[in-house]
């Protein structure tokens, strides 16, 4: 699922960020309700005459600050869609970042692999080109693999994208493949993002849902390895656990290894010394914390290794593992994770949406039933519960109404002025 958008009914295109020819937009506008945003009068005229599409003209100065609430409002009116029905399409990082402050979905078009350091928060979908955009949207692929599988249609992945990023470790660029995004407890999304909650609850040792999703994760990870990594790798291991801890990836790694005919080298990859939890540490502290913490007991000469971990936050642990595996002779290392931690950014939304208890109005928390895997909201103070789908739908209606109200007030302004 996109963060809020369930069906894309309108696309706002950040035209100035694209180098594609005007004609290449035909495949998108023939299928979708589109609006082009540009700061160029010349481009505006071409789009209007050649493509016969709607255009929103902005001024050059405002370029770095869009989309902003003003642009969002105009876009919604011109496309005649609601906030939860709109997708922004851009190839510009700053535009994408601004667009992510709205509930609308954000599709990023990247010609090259995303640089992990530059993406503290990921867009809702990454595509390589316009044909991909069209294919994804027409096939109804609306998010990353893990997020898709653990939303309403549990474990029925039609097809979905996986975020592929690149992490720098000194001179090396290491590929990082993730099943989706992870929103921590400090972002409002943790209340609205089933995948994040499932990641969290599945690893919460004293919780009812502890490890109830291992089977599903194993299946998805194995599929991902098969699609993206099998050809390029020889062996697989997970990040070593601290001494005395059970490695909850043991069974998962073994299954991936067997299904993809890879060597399971987890037992040889160990933690040399105790190290504290990485939680609450800064990037530099994290690097220090795991420095020289691992050892590989064996020889990896010429081997290509897949390294599995659950959530990547700064990449500190992965990088340290990389150094150890490289020192043991590994020719290539690939990172495979369940989620990329979306940094604790408040998403710039002033009134953060909340699912609140209909009885006592306290914010509710998202849980999962360990037996039937159904998602539900629960209120701590009064124990009232309700289904995930129902509450989320009510929230969407509320969000869309709130924006519509702002619309009515702002509507009286002059509409023809460039923004």
The contact set with Zn ion (CB under 5 A) reads: 357, 359-360, 362, 379, 382, 384
In whole angstroms, the minimum distance from the beta carbon of 194 to Zn ion comes to 21
For tokens 């009914």, the residue is 9
Question: Which of 230, 384 has the CB closer to Zn ion?
Answer: 384
Question: Which of 57, 362 has the CB closer to Zn ion?
Answer: 362
In whole angstroms, the minimum distance from the beta carbon of 200 to Zn ion comes to 22
- What does the alpha-carbon distance between residue 161 and residue 351 come to, in Å, rounded to a whole number? 30
In whole angstroms, the minimum distance from the beta carbon of 203 to Zn ion comes to 27
Question: Which of 360, 404 has the CB closer to Zn ion?
Answer: 360
* Cα 118 off chain centre by: 14
Question: Which of 380, 406 has the CB closer to Zn ion?
Answer: 380
Token pair for residue 185?
């407890």
* Cα 294 off chain centre by: 29
In whole angstroms, the minimum distance from the beta carbon of 398 to Zn ion comes to 17
In whole angstroms, the minimum distance from the beta carbon of 95 to Zn ion comes to 40
Q: Where are the alpha helices (DSSP H) in 80-208?
A: 93-99, 130-138, 145-149, 194-203
In whole angstroms, the minimum distance from the beta carbon of 356 to Zn ion comes to 8
Burial class (CB in 10 A: 0-12, 13-18, 19+), 329: middle
Question: Which of 56, 357 has the CB closer to Zn ion?
Answer: 357
Region of 302 (left: φ > 0; alpha: ψ -120 to 50; beta: rest) is left
In whole angstroms, the minimum distance from the beta carbon of 382 to Zn ion comes to 3
In whole angstroms, the minimum distance from the beta carbon of 290 to Zn ion comes to 42
Question: Which of 155, 380 has the CB closer to Zn ion?
Answer: 380
Helix (H) or strand (E) holding 27, with range, is helix 26-29
DSSP states of 193-223: -HHHHHHHHHH-TTSTTTTTTHHHHHHHHHH
Token pair for residue 235?
């062996």
* 8 Å CB contact between 327 and 296: yes
- What does the alpha-carbon distance between residue 141 and residue 143 come to, in Å, rounded to a whole number? 6
Question: Which of 258, 383 has the CB closer to Zn ion?
Answer: 383
In whole angstroms, the minimum distance from the beta carbon of 181 to Zn ion comes to 29
- What does the alpha-carbon distance between residue 235 and residue 260 come to, in Å, rounded to a whole number? 10
Question: Which of 340, 357 has the CB closer to Zn ion?
Answer: 357
Burial class (CB in 10 A: 0-12, 13-18, 19+), 146: buried
CA neighbours closer than 13 Å in the CB half-sphere of residue 366:
28
- What does the alpha-carbon distance between residue 67 and residue 83 come to, in Å, rounded to a whole number? 13
Question: Which of 44, 392 has the CB closer to Zn ion?
Answer: 392
């Amino acid at each position: 699922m996109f963060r809020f958008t369930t069906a894309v009914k309108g696309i706002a295109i950040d035209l100035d960020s694209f180098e594609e020819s005007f004609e290449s937009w035909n495949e998108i506008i023939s299928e979708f309700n589109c609006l082009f945003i540009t700061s160029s009068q010349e481009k505006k005229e071409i789009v209007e005459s050649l493509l016969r599409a709607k255009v929103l003209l902005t001024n050059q100065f405002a370029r770095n600050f869009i989309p902003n609430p003003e642009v969002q409002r105009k876009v919604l009116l011109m496309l005649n869609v609601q906030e939860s029905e709109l997708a922004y399409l851009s190839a510009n990082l700053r535009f994408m970042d601004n667009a992510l402050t709205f509930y609308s979905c954000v599709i990023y078009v990247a010609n090259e692999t995303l640089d992990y350091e530059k993406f503290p928060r990921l867009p809702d979908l990454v595509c390589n080109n316009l044909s991909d955009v069209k294919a994804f949207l027409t096939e109804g692929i609306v998010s990353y693999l893990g997020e898709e599988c653990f939303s309403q249609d549990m474990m029925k992945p039609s097809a979905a994208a996986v975020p592929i990023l690149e992490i720098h470790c000194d001179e090396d660029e290491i590929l990082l493949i993730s099943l989706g995004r992870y929103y921590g407890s400090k972002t409002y999304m943790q209340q609205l993002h089933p995948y994040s909650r499932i990641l969290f609850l599945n690893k919460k040792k004293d919780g009812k849902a502890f490890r109830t999703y291992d089977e599903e994760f194993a299946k998805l990870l194995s599929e991902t390895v098969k699609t993206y990594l099998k050809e390029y790798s020889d062996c697989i291991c997970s990040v070593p656990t601290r001494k005395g801890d059970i490695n909850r990836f043991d069974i998962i790694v073994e299954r991936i290894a067997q299904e993809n005919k890879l060597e399971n080298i987890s037992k040889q990859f160990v933690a040399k010394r105790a190290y504290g939890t990485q939680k609450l540490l800064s990037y530099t502290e994290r690097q220090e914390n795991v420095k020289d913490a691992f050892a590989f007991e064996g020889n990896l000469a010429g081997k290509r290794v897949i390294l599995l971990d659950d959530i990547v936050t700064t990449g500190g642990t992965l990088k340290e593992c990389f150094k150890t595996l490289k020192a043991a002779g590994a020719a290539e290392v690939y990172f495979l994770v369940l989620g990329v931690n979306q940094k604790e950014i408040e998403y710039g939304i002033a009134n953060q949406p909340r699912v609140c208890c209909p009885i006592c109005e306290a914010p509710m928390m998202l849980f999962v039933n360990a037996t039937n895997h159904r998602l539900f909201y629960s209120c701590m103070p009064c124990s009232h519960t309700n289904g995930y789908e129902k509450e989320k739908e009510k929230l969407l209606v509320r969000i869309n109404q709130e924006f519509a109200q702002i619309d009515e007030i702002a509507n009286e302004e002059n509409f023809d002025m460039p923004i």
